Structure 1
């Protein structure tokens, strides 16, 4: 009797197993899950209004106009009152403008323990879509690690990125001068083109007359020396007038 009951039960279990194996539960798109996981939950969306330089931007955050200084990085100077424009400073600024002023991209910021510096600027990690922009600047050799305690949440991660850029001699790490904050060459303004001299007027075309009778048909009073029609042979008294009326 037990054997007879076992076979139908085993068959039922087998059918259930096969059915369960063919069932695929519905999940959200995997790429969306990954993207959401990459952006910290504490990050807040902002609107970028202006790029001051490579590591400083002006944004609208929670309805207020704010200046944001990126944490743990320092790009070469371009506007420091006491320093020259440093090598790779203009490139860092251009790179930040290219990415953060692109209206097609979503920009967010994440604060750390100290949210503001002594100047009242927000201190933040900046994200373009789901990628940390602070990291991109280091990766491309357009910034160095700069630590201001206690904002060190991603310090070890960013140190590794900087080390790789150094190894590959990217950007500021491509020369000792750039790595030490050397000044970018000053572009001399192109010399103004020299004014072209005014063209000399063409000399008047010489006129020739057979005699004074012919000359007076056109110039009844005769002509003075220097006139195109003056000819010494018509100036018999050598007074500087040819064919004048006597």
Structure 2
């Protein structure tokens, strides 16, 4: 009887140790998953670098970031004016316009003033309409989605058919709206296309 009791106690102790180890590992995995500085909806904004390495790397022209959705770049020695696909930023004279521009400047500076350009169209002004990718040390991230996540731009729904990453942008914008960040902190934010019509 004494042997059975000792054996039972040893098995019970072993079971407790195993259970503790398993629970600790599960807790660590859960912590690693939740300790990300990006919302779950932004997962698609970070991609493996090898999936877009074929895109040209372009240098942002110094002093060319005039607003939140237009820049000039040098690609293979050629200067191009880029209109950001998928989004519309507040105009410079509009509420939030300067903040949107400054956010973009900071974002691109952190990426070494280099972007990967995924051209989707050419607009009526001859600008290259493109999705842009920047590497700030966490892998390549979609510039437009970063802007939407910070509440610095509107997703341009009228042109979403030309936008490969529309779902990621719409999702990050919804998060920004819910958190009332950037332009969404205003009680009545005015879309840029409406502001332009009213201020012709």
Shorter chain as denominator, the TM-score bin is 0.5 to 0.7
Moved over 6 A (4+): none
Deviation at 1:161, TM superposition (A): 1.0
Change in Cα spacing, 1:42 to 1:170, as seen in structure 2 (3 Å) is same
Task: Show the counterpart of 2:59.
Answer: 47
> Which residue, 143, 154, 160 being the options, matches 2:165?
154
RMSD of aligned Cα (Å): 2.3
Deviation at 1:103, TM superposition (A): 6.9
Q: TM-score, normalising length from structure 2?
A: 0.63
Instruction: Give unpaired runs (5+ residues) of structure 2.
Output: 1-46, 196-200
Contact 2:60–2:113 (8 Å) recurs in 1? no
Matching of residue 169 in structure 1 with residue 152 in structure 2: no
CA distance in 2, matches of 1:40, 1:109: 10
Deviation at 1:62, TM superposition (A): 2.5
Q: Looking at both structures, which has the greater relative contact order when contacts are Cα pairs under 8 Å and sequence separation is at least 6?
A: 2
> Which residue, 105, 119, 129 being the options, matches 1:111?
119
Summarize the alignment of residues 1-246 of structure 1 with structure 2, pairs less than 5 Å apart.
Answer: 35-37=48-50, 40-49=52-61, 50-78=64-92, 85-102=93-110, 104=112, 106-112=114-120, 115-129=121-135, 130-146=140-156, 147-148=158-159, 150-180=161-191
Deviation at 1:180, TM superposition (A): 4.9
Is the partner of 2:107 in helix, strand or coil? Answer: helix
Contact 2:87–2:155 (8 Å) recurs in 1? yes
Deviation at 1:106, TM superposition (A): 3.4
Task: Show the counterpart of 2:22.
Answer: none
Is the partner of 1:94 in helix, strand or coil? Answer: helix
Deviation at 1:153, TM superposition (A): 1.2
Larger radius of gyration: 1
Deviation at 1:152, TM superposition (A): 2.4
Contact 2:89–2:100 (8 Å) recurs in 1? yes
Residues 74-127 of structure 1: per-residue CA shift (max 9 Å, x gap): 11001xxxxxx1111100111111222457353211122xx2100000011111
**Higher helix proportion:** 2
Residues 7-55 of structure 1: per-residue CA shift (max 9 Å, x gap): xxxxxxxxxxxxxxxxxxxxxxxxxxx7424x52442100100212111
CA distance in 2, matches of 1:149, 1:165: 19
